[in-house]
Structure 1
Amino acid sequence: MTRLIYDGSFEGLLTAIFQVYEERLQDVAIIPVSSLQPDFFSEDLRVYTDANKADRVWQGLKPFSLLRQMIYKAYLREAAGAEKSILEAVRYVLKTKNEKDYGHPAILQLANWTKEVGREKHRTEAFVRFKRAKDDTYIAVIEPDFNVLPLIAKHFKNRYADQVFVIYDLKRDYGIFYDLHKTEFISLDAARLSNLNTIIHEEERGYDAMWQDYFKSTGIKSRVNKKLHLRHVPKRYWKYLNEKNPD
């Protein structure tokens, strides 16, 4: 068994796949360095991320747009051992030219992960709540189950094109920043962002109170369906929703 150890980035993963084909490796595993465990029966090879090699793999998969989408979302799913399913799917599709064979275990697994990431993307887009900071930047913090931040950037850039904003993923300690022209990935003080009360504009508290009053006044207690509500608005999102976090 040969283990290809990569840095955990998407380009690093594609570079590892390139190396599999370049060196014609058969019994091989691709492992992110963060998940590396000692194995005395394997030969470990370090993968050095190469943008050109990664691009060659990505361009080589261009005829299979569905597979490319599934590979990227499977990577963002952050599932343990996802690299194994991704490599198996790539090998199978390149051999058979069939990217929709859901009878193949790896293809089916990638399709299921794609659906899960898609659901999390839509939920995150629905439950992001911005607060205006003292410098007039609008800030939202999130902690999604999966790494969906790269998938939601375009949505918010289009929807809030006239305001400077930051959406920060506390779980993964990085965010996106939009400056009215472009979006870029940034790293900030996550500890400070976890308590927005220290940096939000004074007027924001009044807006919070108004929204909470509106939410209470429009609710009809006799028609509340808690099970349905929890299915559509899981509790893990509540602490960042104005209407659910009056304090």
Structure 2
Amino acid sequence: MNNTNITNKTIYLCDDTIEGIFTAIYKAWDNNPKTTDVRIRSSSSSLSFFESYVETDTDYELALKVHNTIIRKLSWDIYFYIYRTALSYEEERASYIYSFLKKAFKTGPAIINMLHDDDVLKIFNIDKQVGRESHSFLEFVRFEELANSVLVSRIEPKSNIIPLISEHFADRLHCENWIILDTGRNFAAIHEASKPVFFSYLTESELANFSVLSDTEKGFQNLWKTFFDTIAIKERCNPKLQQSNMPLRYRKYMKAENNPGHV
């Protein structure tokens, strides 16, 4: 059997950030778009005898070049499709973005209307998925007041939506010190009163500081639970309707909704 026609694909492994993905795309493209692919570095990734792997450190200058090229040659709209795809939980999102860009730079801005193309449709559907989840969390985020007067909200989204929702709360809670924490990623949006939001991964010791609630917060939580139980009508309990209005996965950090079974 002649194996001389088998192409050994080179996979560029990158950090799970938009800058990491763009760095890998730059280097993969510079090598050869036809024989390269991009993949987020993960311990769960399977290896293949027909692939070679290149570890790629994030280079912000190279990432900026890809960022600027997308906006200049394609559009801001297409950039945001790609950005939201990079924030998704899809395991192959880096590869999807690379495949999309290889076609997009040949086709131009009109690529966004080519939903009959599988690579375009994947990006379009992932973008919608991330958009729906971020919109839902605008409604379901709940803050608690800590002993140091900082407001903290814990969420556990599927996608990394914190960069998408933070400006909404920065606008509405402009004069407050607050943190929105993605507990699955230990990634947080941090807002100091009257200052811009910044993002950071938090250590376990930093997370431990979120456990001490203010006395005022404890009082309000107890008051709300008492009210919630008092007005509940057992005969009108409708778990299916409750779950339809508020899916279970949103309730983990919503205190009153953790109190079982009343609508």
**TM-score of the alignment, normalized to the shorter chain, above 0.5:** yes
1:30 equivalent in alignment to 2:44: no
Change (3 A) 1:188 1:53: closer
Change (3 A) 1:106 1:214: farther
Residue 5 of structure 2 corresponds to which residue in structure 1?
A: none
Q: Determine helix, strand or coil for the equivalent of 2:112.
A: coil
Shift of 1:92: 1.3
Change (3 A) 1:74 1:18: same
Q: Which moved more, 1:20-29 or 1:122-131?
A: 20-29
Residue 16 of structure 2 corresponds to which residue in structure 1?
A: 8
Cα distance in 2 between the residues matched to 1:123 and 1:190: 28
TM-score by length of 1: 0.88
1:234 equivalent in alignment to 2:242: no
1:141 and 1:193 in contact (8 A); partners too: no
Q: Deviations over 1:58-80 (max 9, x none)?
A: 11111322321121111111211
Shift of 1:190: 4.7
Residue among 196, 209, 217 paired with 1:182: 196
Cα distance in 2 between the residues matched to 1:228 and 1:102: 35
Residue among 105, 111, 116 paired with 1:103: 116
Residue 155 of structure 1 corresponds to which residue in structure 2?
A: 168
1:143 and 1:171 in contact (8 A); partners too: yes
Q: Deviations over 1:174-215 (max 9, x none)?
A: 21111111222233355885896x400112122113333454
1:52 equivalent in alignment to 2:36: no
Change (3 A) 1:67 1:232: farther
Q: Which moved more, 1:220-229 or 1:122-131?
A: 220-229
Instruction: State how 1:135-214 maps to structure 2 within 5 Å.
Output: 135-180=148-193, 181-190=195-204, 193=207, 198-214=211-227
1:141 and 1:194 in contact (8 A); partners too: no
Q: Which moved more, 1:115-124 or 1:186-195?
A: 186-195
Cα distance in 1 between the residues matched to 2:252 and 2:221: 13
Cα distance in 2 between the residues matched to 1:9 and 1:241: 29
Cα distance in 1 between the residues matched to 2:202 and 2:57: 27
Change (3 A) 1:223 1:92: farther
TM-score by length of 2: 0.83
Shift of 1:99: 1.8
Shift of 1:224: 6.2
Q: Deviations over 1:195-241 (max 9, x none)?
A: 96x40011212211333345456667776654343233111122211
Q: Determine helix, strand or coil for the equivalent of 1:8.
A: coil
- Structure 2 residue ranges without an equivalent (≥5): 1-8
CA RMSD of aligned residues (A): 2.5
- Structure 1 residue ranges without an equivalent (≥5): none
Q: Determine helix, strand or coil for the equivalent of 2:113.
A: coil
Q: Determine helix, strand or coil for the equivalent of 1:168.
A: strand
1:170 and 1:190 in contact (8 A); partners too: no
Cα distance in 2 between the residues matched to 1:45 and 1:212: 54
Matched residue count = 246
Change (3 A) 1:166 1:39: same
Residue 64 of structure 1 corresponds to which residue in structure 2?
A: 75
Q: Deviations over 1:114-167 (max 9, x none)?
A: 111111111212111111111111111111111111111101111111110111
1:73 and 1:117 in contact (8 A); partners too: yes
2:28 and 2:38 in contact (8 A); partners too: no
Amino acid in structure 2 at the alignment position of 1:59: N
Residue among 96, 99, 103 paired with 1:88: 99
